[in-house]
Amino acid sequence: MIRIVIPLLLVLLLSTELYSQHSERDIEEIFSIGTVESVIIEKENRIVAEYYRENMNRNSYVNIKSASKSVLSLLIGIAIEKGYIAGVDEPIGHYFPEYFDQNPDPKKESITIKDLITMRSGLETTSFRNYGRWVLSHNWVNFALHQPMVEEPGGEMIYSTGTSHLLSVIISRASGISTLQFANRYLFGPMDIRIGGWDRDPQGYHMGGNNMAMTPADMLKIGRLMLNNGKYRDEQLIPPGWIQDSVEVYTRSNFNPYDYGYMWWRKKVQNHEVVFAWGNGGQYIILLPEIDTTIIITSNLTNSGSRQYQREIFQFLGDVLLPAINGS
């Protein structure tokens, strides 16, 4: 069963010929992609459409999977702005003395914050074929750092959740508090965001880049923060320069036709540049800066199936959502 919430939809979308002729068909179409459960569209600070399946609603918690990497990127920007981290060119070696004292490696110690945040550490991936062994290991940090170097630091992109997890550990060690406490103090608290859950590693560090539970309403706040250049209401939570740097293109995915910034993805859809956070199974914070629009999509992970949904989501965005939004 699909429910439609219509706050300003009558004014902004139902009046368009496109929407009035095809609304039911369009709704059925998006909810047939993968296991999509919710869609929120916000344009120019106004929610223009909300769609939910069955018991899902804007305050239901969803595991946003790797979309949490994009949130982690914002925390790194805050940590640099607050002086906890020296900058993106800072080498990571001194953050992990317990590992490098036992396993000295000048190349690995020279990996920078920027190398981590752009997935160009050079370390073999801990995702995909290695993910199970990584999360079942007794020490996620040591496992990630112990991976062989298969690229030079700053070279080709190697997508790896172990790489992003190192960033969470760095935030915690640099600030002296947990990554969640840091986020609550500087980001979630000021935005009235409450995390429903966030996995930790065996040493108690919050998982950098996966398994964070957030509501669609709070995902929308993150999207609006990005479009407002780091400002939420009247408070500048993140330097505008960090937001701009985050959406620049530094590398390209080794598995998908997407460009990559500071843990934010980019691709072109029709004539629009699209910036997005993406979590496995169909969790998206989609930004359309040219038309000041955020689209939130969440999906059920129980039967997420293949990744065919990726192409279908962006096809739907180009064929249906963009024409409707542009006509609103």
pLDDT computed for residue 32 by the predictor: 87
Q: Looking at the domain assignment, is residue 196 inside a domain?
A: no
Q: Looking at the domain assignment, is residue 139 inside a domain?
A: yes
CATH code (residue 290): 3.40.710.10
Q: Is the pTM of this model over 0.85?
A: yes
- Are both 176 and 71 inside the same structural domain? yes
Task: Give me the sign of the Cα torsion angle 142, 104, 172, 215.
Answer: negative
Q: Looking at the domain assignment, is residue 207 inside a domain?
A: no
Q: Looking at the domain assignment, is residue 112 inside a domain?
A: yes
pLDDT tens digits, residue range 9-64?
333 343 333 344 445 456 568 888 889 999 999 999 999 889 998 889 999 999 99
Smallest CA-to-CA distance from 227 within 45, 19, 70, 88 is with 45
pLDDT tens digits, residue range 278-302?
999 999 999 999 999 999 999 998 7
pLDDT computed for residue 26 by the predictor: 66
- Are both 146 and 86 inside the same structural domain? yes
- Are both 40 and 92 inside the same structural domain? no
How is residue 5 annotated by DSSP?
A: E
pLDDT tens digits, residue range 66-125?
999 999 999 999 999 999 999 999 999 999 999 999 999 999 999 999 999 999 999 999
Place of tokens 């020279």: 110
- Are both 158 and 74 inside the same structural domain? yes
- Are both 129 and 158 inside the same structural domain? yes
- Are both 74 and 50 inside the same structural domain? no
What is the β-pairing status of strands 62-63 and 235-236? unpaired
pLDDT tens digits, residue range 133-175?
999 999 999 999 999 999 999 999 999 999 999 999 999 999 9
Smallest CA-to-CA distance from 40 within 328, 240, 239, 298 is with 298
Q: Report which of residues 312 and 29 the model is more confident about.
A: 312
Structural domain of residue 73, as residue ranges?
Answer: 67-180
CA–CA separation, 239 and 83 (whole Å): 13
Of 123, 156, 180, the residue at which a domain comes to its end is 180
Q: Looking at the domain assignment, is residue 309 inside a domain?
A: yes
Q: Looking at the domain assignment, is residue 213 inside a domain?
A: no
Task: Assign 3-class secondary structure to 253-299.
Answer: CCCCCCEECCCCEEEEECCEEEEEEEECCCEEEEEEHHHCEEEEEEE
Region 2-15 average pLDDT: 43
Q: Looking at the domain assignment, is residue 176 inside a domain?
A: yes
- Are both 120 and 95 inside the same structural domain? yes
Q: Looking at the domain assignment, is residue 37 inside a domain?
A: yes
Number of domains in the chain: 2
- Are both 48 and 108 inside the same structural domain? no
